[in-house]
Structure 1
Amino acid sequence: MKNTSKLVLLKFEDLQRKMKKIALNILAIHVFLFGISHFACGADDLEEQALSLFGETQKASVFYLDNGMEVILVENHASPMITAFTIVKAGSRNEDASTNGSAHFLEHLLFNGTKTRTQKELYDEMDYYGGYNNAHTGPDYTNFMILMPKEYIEQGMDIQADMLFNSTLPPEKFEKERGIVIEEIGKSADHPTHQVHNHFIRTLFSGTSYERPVLGTVSTISHLKRDDVLAYYHTWYVPNNMTLMVIGDFTTPEMIELVKRKYGLYPAGPLPEHKPVLLIQPKTMRVARTNGTGKFPADRQYLN
């Protein structure tokens, strides 16, 4: 575990590489909030626009809590809002074939109640404070984001930390969420671009954990057991496997203390080894075709 007591100030001009990484994460948050239309640019301009999001910000504060959680703080006083973006360093690549879809299923379940809050209380509290609470699952990471008026960031962080570390995955909610996820898989199958993406991933990453869909399949979700999802939760949802990014209208010294109070109470846990995925570079070009499997009319299918 990394010692956290020392705060490191990263100078913008001295640590460009680190800052670009942070900036691109900030860009992802802005796109998540406002949509890609706010960033009408080509790939070559993406990094430059990401860096411009810092505006007056000239440094980020990076430190570790005693439980191993990495924390990145970026002050930006352009508006009286604060976002807290917690990245769990586990996604669908950390599943096996039989439990494919566990990471995304778990993301759904974390909004269903904790040891101290019911599902209704989670939603009602966030609405009361004028906040926004959402999440997204990918192959490598699961991201949880809150956006709060700055005067209510403490309450928002309390809700987020409670969801991350104290969720109960209520058994009575499990079947409800199973149906919702299966419906989501069905909608994805009816979306031509999703079919193209999934087929591309299966072809490119064949034989690796990346070939499996993030949502899982109807078969894997139908057979998934609550114990499987609980095992994933207890394995990967530990603070030493997370990065917390806080961006917005705050002062760094006060935010450091708030983060310690809200996220520093939870103990680190043992982590399995993050095994690298070895990709075999093809020696020849391959053309792969597939048939559309959705319910849209055959004459309008994009794949044939």
Structure 2
Amino acid sequence: MTRTPRTTARPASPAGRAVAHAHSSRSLPLPAAHRGSRAAAGGDPGGAVRKTVLPGGLRVVTQSVPDVRSATFGIWARVGSRDETPALNGATHYLEHLLFKGTRRRSALDISAEIDAVGGEMNAFTAKEFTCYYARVLDTDLPLAIDVVCDMLTGSLIRSEDVEAERGVVLEEIAMTEDDPGDCVHDLFARTMLGDTPLGRPVLGTNETINALTRDRIARFYRRHYDPTHLVVAAAGNLDHDTVVRQVREAFEAAGALADAGAEPVGPRTGARRIRTAGRVEVLDRGTEQAHVVLGVPGLSRTDERRWALGVLSAALGGGMSSRLFQEVREKRGLAYSVYSYTSGFADCGLFGVYVGCRPNLVHDVLKICRDELDHVAEHGLDDEELRRAVGQLAGSTVLGMEDTGALMNHIGKGELCWGRQMSVDDMLGRISAVTPDDVRSVAREILGQRPSLSVIGPLTDRQSARLDEAVA
């Protein structure tokens, strides 16, 4: 099974130093290429999103794309690793594996063989706030995908022997992740910033928690979080909404999953959590060739309207080959191969980070450059040309990211689950193009003006580790 790359959203925090800037009311126009695109000129890559709420609180959202020959069907569950107690850490992801192990109607081999036999692909991913199961097939095979995925979600047996067999697989996945320090450092950064909290703990769990999980505890977790009120069904491709709704309803009713006709859907997560961590340094000693570094600060929740300005800021700082950090660290000085900035947004908080992979003896030079650039942008902002490039990059990646039925299914499913509404590509492009230079400068002062924290994985000497405090002073 796969895990989602860390969710992209945007940062928030105390105001930084106030600096007056000109051009306060001008928005950043979309490049002509994006203004003339199909999404910008005539709507989304597909048709309108339709939604039906079935008895039992099950939501079904679809987007028709008549000019393709495929369809992607998914079911989103409003449960992630942040819903786990310390003893249950890793249970959501473990359960994701177990739903592929067999139902009352199908064995594990039947589940995979039926999708393989039509050339489809099937997978799932677990994140901190949701889990998704999906299948991508030819449009003519959509009824099969609906039946198989719905059967998995409603009829899983979660047998003791499957729990024991899959335990080793999950432990191997943990080991595989730990063997990839470029991935593992982001889990370390989450722990550095969020501590021993549900959001700070790893999605996969640990060897200790996975070994301690029992069949009964996982089954209780399944029953508590997989009722229809916590689920969103999403489908995109060459499909008919009413037909999908009928097939989904038949599958759930056959499993007895819509018995509570008066149940209402559970709404999006809410909250106003603040991250107050500053100046923390965590180092994990590993015998790697590179040191893997994340320097970052608290960010914005995924519902914060400033996230559009922060997205533009992140693109300008470290979103591409022309970005400020890429140019300063890699192109001008040749100190690293990989350097980028990113944002992670949750329902009630977020993170902003800069990642660099470099030789251990270059860590301090790289961190000084990154810190100097962040401090400079926090005080002076970015010039208009950088901002225009960033807007164009963000707009282009938004449109290109919607070019297949799987991406559309993700977009509408996550939109319903996390926001309770849909935002079209036109809407998103409009929000991006409406960002003003002052919006970006304001977010830069607030976010980049904070004292950062630092996470490092690599073979640093005691002397090198002792000097890391300089980067967060």
Deviations 1:97-132 (A, max 9, x none): 011000000000111100111111111111123221
Residue 212 of structure 2 is matched in structure 1 by 223
Matches for 1:118-129 after TM superposition, within 5 Å = 118-129=107-118
Deviation, structure 1 residue 278 = 5.4
Residue 239 of structure 1 is matched in structure 2 by 228
Residue 120 of structure 2 is matched in structure 1 by 131
Residue 300 of structure 1 is matched in structure 2 by 290
Residue 267 of structure 1 is matched in structure 2 by 258
Deviation, structure 1 residue 78 = 2.5
Shift in CA distance, 125/281, structure 1 to aligned 2, threshold 3 Å = closer
Residue 12 of structure 1 is matched in structure 2 by none
Deviation, structure 1 residue 264 = 4.7
CA distance in 1 between counterparts of 2:47 and 2:267 reads 35
Counterpart code for 1:152: D
DSSP-derived class of the 2:283 partner: coil
Residue 54 of structure 2 is matched in structure 1 by 65
2:85, 2:198 within 8 Å by CA — same for their partners in 1?
yes
Residue 249 of structure 1 is matched in structure 2 by 238
DSSP-derived class of the 1:90 partner: coil
CA distance in 2 between counterparts of 1:260 and 1:54 reads 30
Aligned match of 2:153 in 148, 151, 164? 164
Deviation, structure 1 residue 277 = 6.0
Shift in CA distance, 180/272, structure 1 to aligned 2, threshold 3 Å = same
Deviation, structure 1 residue 55 = 4.7
Residue 199 of structure 1 is matched in structure 2 by 188
Aligned match of 2:100 in 89, 111, 118? 111
Residue 290 of structure 1 is matched in structure 2 by 283
1:54, 1:76 within 8 Å by CA — same for their partners in 2?
no
Residue 14 of structure 2 is matched in structure 1 by none
Residue 179 of structure 1 is matched in structure 2 by 168
1:112, 1:118 within 8 Å by CA — same for their partners in 2?
yes
Residue 90 of structure 1 is matched in structure 2 by 79
Residue 281 of structure 1 is matched in structure 2 by 275
CA distance in 1 between counterparts of 2:259 and 2:176 reads 38
Shift in CA distance, 219/207, structure 1 to aligned 2, threshold 3 Å = closer
CA distance in 1 between counterparts of 2:285 and 2:150 reads 42
DSSP-derived class of the 1:211 partner: coil
Deviation, structure 1 residue 57 = 3.2
DSSP-derived class of the 1:246 partner: strand
1:292, 1:301 within 8 Å by CA — same for their partners in 2?
no
CA distance in 2 between counterparts of 1:286 and 1:152 reads 54
Aligned length: 257
Give the alignment's TM-score, normalised by structure 1: 0.76
CA distance in 1 between counterparts of 2:43 and 2:117 reads 30
CA distance in 2 between counterparts of 1:71 and 1:215 reads 29
Counterpart code for 2:96: E
RMSD: 2.9
Deviations 1:113-165 (A, max 9, x none): 00111111111111123221110001100001111111111111111111001
Residue 27 of structure 1 is matched in structure 2 by none
1:65, 1:264 within 8 Å by CA — same for their partners in 2?
no
Deviations 1:184-215 (A, max 9, x none): 11111111122210111112222531011000
CA distance in 2 between counterparts of 1:165 and 1:205 reads 34
Residue 29 of structure 1 is matched in structure 2 by none
CA distance in 1 between counterparts of 2:127 and 2:192 reads 18
DSSP-derived class of the 2:239 partner: coil
Shift in CA distance, 272/153, structure 1 to aligned 2, threshold 3 Å = closer
Shift in CA distance, 145/201, structure 1 to aligned 2, threshold 3 Å = same
Shift in CA distance, 236/159, structure 1 to aligned 2, threshold 3 Å = same
Counterpart code for 1:292: D
Shift in CA distance, 281/256, structure 1 to aligned 2, threshold 3 Å = closer
Q: Runs of 5+ in structure 1 lacking a partner?
A: 1-31, 33-43
Shift in CA distance, 226/277, structure 1 to aligned 2, threshold 3 Å = farther
Deviation, structure 1 residue 251 = 2.3
Deviation, structure 1 residue 216 = 0.2
Residue 38 of structure 1 is matched in structure 2 by none
Shift in CA distance, 59/169, structure 1 to aligned 2, threshold 3 Å = same
Aligned match of 2:140 in 151, 163, 167? 151
2:102, 2:111 within 8 Å by CA — same for their partners in 1?
yes
DSSP-derived class of the 1:139 partner: coil
DSSP-derived class of the 2:282 partner: coil
Shift in CA distance, 268/279, structure 1 to aligned 2, threshold 3 Å = farther
Deviations 1:217-238 (A, max 9, x none): 0100011111111011010011
